[in-house]
Amino acid sequence: MRRTEVTAELERLLATIVDDPAEAEAAVRQALDDVGDVGLLRREDLTWIGTDAAAEPELDQASLAALECGGGALVSHAAFAGDYAIILPDSDTGADVELFSRVCVWLTFIRSLAAARTEVSDYHYETVVVGGLAKHVLSVSDLDQVLLTITAETLRMSESDICGVFLREGDELRMKSCTGHRVVDTARLRMRRGQGVAGMVFETLQPAKVDSYLQDHRISNDFMSLAEQEETRSALAVPLILGDDLVGVLEVWRRRYSSFTQRDVRRLEALADLATIAIDNARLYDSQRSALADLEVTHARLEAQVRLLDETAQLQKSLIDIVLENGPVFNRVARTLAEQLGCTVAVVTADGEIDAIHPRDCDSSAIVSAFLAQRDSLNRSATLTTAGGAPVWVHPIKLGADQFGAVCAQGLDLGGDLSQVACAHAALACSLFLLQQRAASVARSEALDQVLWDLMDGSAEQRSAAGGRAQQMGVWLRGWHRVLYGSIDNLDSFVQQEEWSLSAADRTRRAILDSVRNTSTPVQPTLASVRGNWIVALVPIHDRDRAREYLRSLKAALSAEHAPIAISWGLSTAREQPSQYPEAFAEARTALAAARRLGSVSLYDDLGIVRLLLGNEDADFQSFVREITGPLQDYDDANDGALMKTLRAYFDSNCSQKDAAQLLYIHHKTLAYRLDRIRKLTGLDLSQHSDRMRADLALRLLEVSEQAEGDG
């Protein structure tokens, strides 16, 4: 199957809603079979697994975890969203990552819908079972039969191995009904306060559970031998309470290591209520009717939850369609939610601006005020507040730790669960849309980074292709440009000193790159990228003076924003054609070498003949300059002398003592005295050509260094 056919098949799948997640995964795998070695992975809790266990190799969980954070080796050839990831072959550079990301989003929502349906079914089943038990308990007068029914149903609903009902007899609990036991002594158990799990409930009147029966030090040792015979591993017990009095305890045991959930506790407590009613049925008939009424309320609540899930499932489907269609997402989300809740809905940015609102002609001031009042205290759930005399739900739109605003719903009838859940779904849809945008932005940034580096040091074919890609992405490389090349000199040592993580160091590099991209005086770079501690940029500057101004502005901005970090910069001469960028890049490297030795910034235009010497990475130019000029500068500083000025004048006069004396307005004997002093201080004989060349070169290097520091 050709790639276009695979794309068409995936687009067809995205336009459908599949009830079974396994069927959806199989359909995606079938569509991807002809693409090549493509893996479809699903996340279960914190672990990634293959959707086709027979075909998937052992997975690199570390790389997949890095992919979730937007990094690692898989970023360049993988798509990730929600609970799914699609891993492409390393060589597949033409894959539509954005399409695969949408497929991951689609699979995630199919799975969420299936989970919601399963939960609804479980709630319905629980309601039916509890309701049936209630009717049975109220219709049976035999206590033993009622207790047997309670233990049997509790055993089945709690997925346990043993169930028993203890009844209180004075200061002792006695087993009255037991199901699933292997040892007869279990059915004859008697416990006092603090003995076993039931004794803990007897003592505290609160539910109690243990995940490892033989190792939990909270349990007394009275029944450890019996526990070993029964091979029990975990237990859960809840009290049977009438009024303020403990009537008994309902307890279940499992012969496997497991953890009882809050849902298990709630189920067992509901069954315990029924057992309590059965135990005191004759004496507390009115209490029975009250308990039955409570069950009916619970049933009504569950039905309301089912209706809520049905309504929110439909809303979720509509919102998924909006995100997948890639239209005006915020406007359509606001309209859909407003029509669902019958209220005013607005999507507000993090700084309080209205991004979308429905109805469009309504007053948004109250909503904005409510958001701004709650902005700093918002977490990941919705907050109900009041503005303009009406309640307002404010649900944050978040990606990770970043908050991008909120979905706000305002109306008179927004106090129910539907409003809260609907706002949560709308905020999730907005977050997914922003996630898509962020993924597209990251992909574009990475593509432009590759374009820039290909233009700098790629082959002729790579440079030609890079120019075409840049034009396709709306980047025009017309006119004169200079290449800026920078080095972050002390970041690695700073990271070790401050004990930063690798991610913190990478964030610092990205922040420096953002500063370079945002420097706009006198111009803003056309392209900029960072690799390791090296930064390269294309700056649209032709004039030399404006180039100097740009370097000064860049240095000032970075010094203000990243003061502890030492950064050196070299700027090439101007080039008009992209084919000339490699030469400009070489010039920028030479200028950077000068900057790292002589100053923090360097313009290639200003290097003069010194540029011929800066290609040698091993030369210690500062030491060379200091060896010759240092003694003269020290002498001048100590004696208010003019040996440096004399030496410059001597060379400016083409080594003529007479012309140099006239240039300095001094007697020729004075000049001769100074030249002799220079000889004694430096050991250079200026009558020798080799010594004159060394002194002249040192002066010129010093002049370049001083000019670089002056420009910075």
Q: Where in the chain is the domain with CATH 3.30.70.270?
A: 477-613
| CA 192 – CA 171 distance, rounded (Å) | 6
**Among positive and negative, which fits the CA dihedral 364, 369, 375, 381?**
negative
Q: How far apart are CA 259 and CA 396, in angstroms?
A: 33
In the chain, CATH 1.10.10.2840 covers: 621-711
- Can you give the pLDDT at residue 621? 59
DSSP result, 52-69: STTT-----HHHHHHHHT
What pLDDT does 616 receive? 47
Percent of the chain with pLDDT over 90: 14
Architecture of domain 142-280: 2-Layer Sandwich (3.30)
- Give me the residues paired with residue 234 across strands: 254
What is the rounded average pLDDT of the residues 405-434? 83
Mean pLDDT across the chain = 83
Confidence band of 615 (pLDDT split at 50, 70, 90): low
Look at 356 and 619; give whichever has higher pLDDT.
Answer: 356
Whether residue 553 has pLDDT greater than 60 = yes
Question: Backbone phi, then psi, for 34, in 5-degree steps?
Answer: -85, 0
Runs of H (alpha helix) within 84-161? 97-139, 143-157
Domain limits, CATH 3.30.450.40, in the chain: 142-280, 311-438
For residue 152, what are the contacts with CB-CB under 8 A and spacing of at least 6? Answer: 163, 179
**The pLDDT of residue 599:** 72
Phi and psi at residue 504, to the nearest 5°: -65, -40
Helix (H) or strand (E) holding 538: strand 534-539
Is the pLDDT at 57 greater than 70? The verdict is no
- Render pLDDT for 247-302 as a digit per residue (tens, 0 to 9): 899 999 998 877 888 888 888 888 888 788 777 774 555 456 667 888 888 888 88
Q: Is 260 left (phi over 0), alpha (psi -120 to 50) or beta?
A: beta
21, 248, 258 from 47: Cα distances, Å:
18, 43, 20
pLDDT at 363: 82
Q: The domain 311-438 is classified under which CATH number: 2.60.40.10, 3.50.50.60, 3.30.450.40, 3.60.20.40?
A: 3.30.450.40
Q: Which tens digit of pLDDT belongs to each residue from 628-661?
A: 788 888 888 888 888 889 988 888 888 888 888 8
- Coil vs helix vs strand at 205: coil
What's the rounded mean pLDDT across residues 314-326?
84
Q: Which helix (H) or strand (E) is 87 found in, with range?
A: strand 84-87
What distance in Å separates the CA atoms of residue 6 and residue 1, rounded to the nearest whole number? Answer: 7
pLDDT for 326-367, tens place per residue? 778 888 889 988 888 888 899 998 888 888 998 888 888 888
Most confident of 389-393, 495-499, 508-512: 508-512
What's the pLDDT at 481? Answer: 94
The predicted-structure confidence for 73-97, as pLDDT tens digits, reads as follows 777 778 888 888 888 876 655 567 7
Give yes or no for residue 624 having a pLDDT over 70. Answer: no
Q: Which residues contact 295 (CB under 8 A, 6 or more apart)?
A: 130, 131, 134, 270
pLDDT score for 286: 44
pLDDT, residue 482, reads 94
Q: Work out the average pLDDT over 224-253.
A: 89
Assigned CATH for 621-711: 1.10.10.2840
Contact indicator for 48, 59 with CB cutoff of 8 Å: yes
Instruction: Give residue for tokens 């540029």.
Output: 611
- Is residue 101 a contact partner of residue 80, using CB atoms and an 8 Å limit? yes
* Confidence category of residue 233, pLDDT binned at 50, 70, 90: confident
Can you give the pLDDT at residue 527? 93
Specify the fold of 477-613. Answer: Alpha-Beta Plaits (3.30.70)
User: Nearest Cα to 425, choosing from 538, 520, 340, 298?
Assistant: 340
What confidence tens digit (pLDDT) does each residue in 151-171 have? 888 888 888 899 999 999 999
Which residues make Cβ contacts (< 8 Å) with residue 277, sequence separation at least 6? 137, 138, 284, 287, 288, 291, 292
Distance CA 407, CA 397 (A): 7
Question: How do strand 482-488 and strand 567-571 relate by DSSP bridges?
Answer: antiparallel
Alpha-carbon gap, residue 562 to 114, rounded angstroms: 50
Question: Residue 209 in contact with residue 235, Cβ under 8 Å?
Answer: yes
Of 484, 477, 479, 478, give the one whose Cα is nearest residue 519. 484
Q: Do the strands 601-603 and 567-571 form a parallel or antiparallel pair, or are they unpaired?
A: parallel
Is the pLDDT at 535 greater than 50? The verdict is yes
The top-scoring range by mean pLDDT among 196-205, 440-449, 491-500 is: 196-205
User: Which pLDDT band, with edges at 50, 70 and 90, does 617 fall under?
Assistant: very low
Query: Does residue 133 carry a pLDDT above 80?
Result: no
Question: Could you check whether the bond before residue 359 is cis, i.e. omega within 30 degrees of 0?
Answer: yes
Q: Pinpoint the alpha helices (H) of 416-564.
A: 417-457, 460-472, 491-498, 502-518, 544-561
Asked if residues 387 and 369 have their Cβ atoms less than 8 Å apart, the reply is yes
Contact 526, 516 (CB under 8 A): no
The two counts, helices (H) then strands (E), for the chain are 22, 20
Following DSSP, what letter does each residue of 362-399 receive, concatenated? S--HHHHHHHHHHGGG--SS-EEEEETTEEEEEEEEEE
Candidate from 80-89, 428-437, 525-534, 600-609 with smallest mean pLDDT = 600-609
Contacts within 8 Å (CB) and 24+ apart, 370-376: 370/394, 370/408, 370/410, 371/405, 371/406, 371/408, 374/406, 375/350, 375/403, 375/406
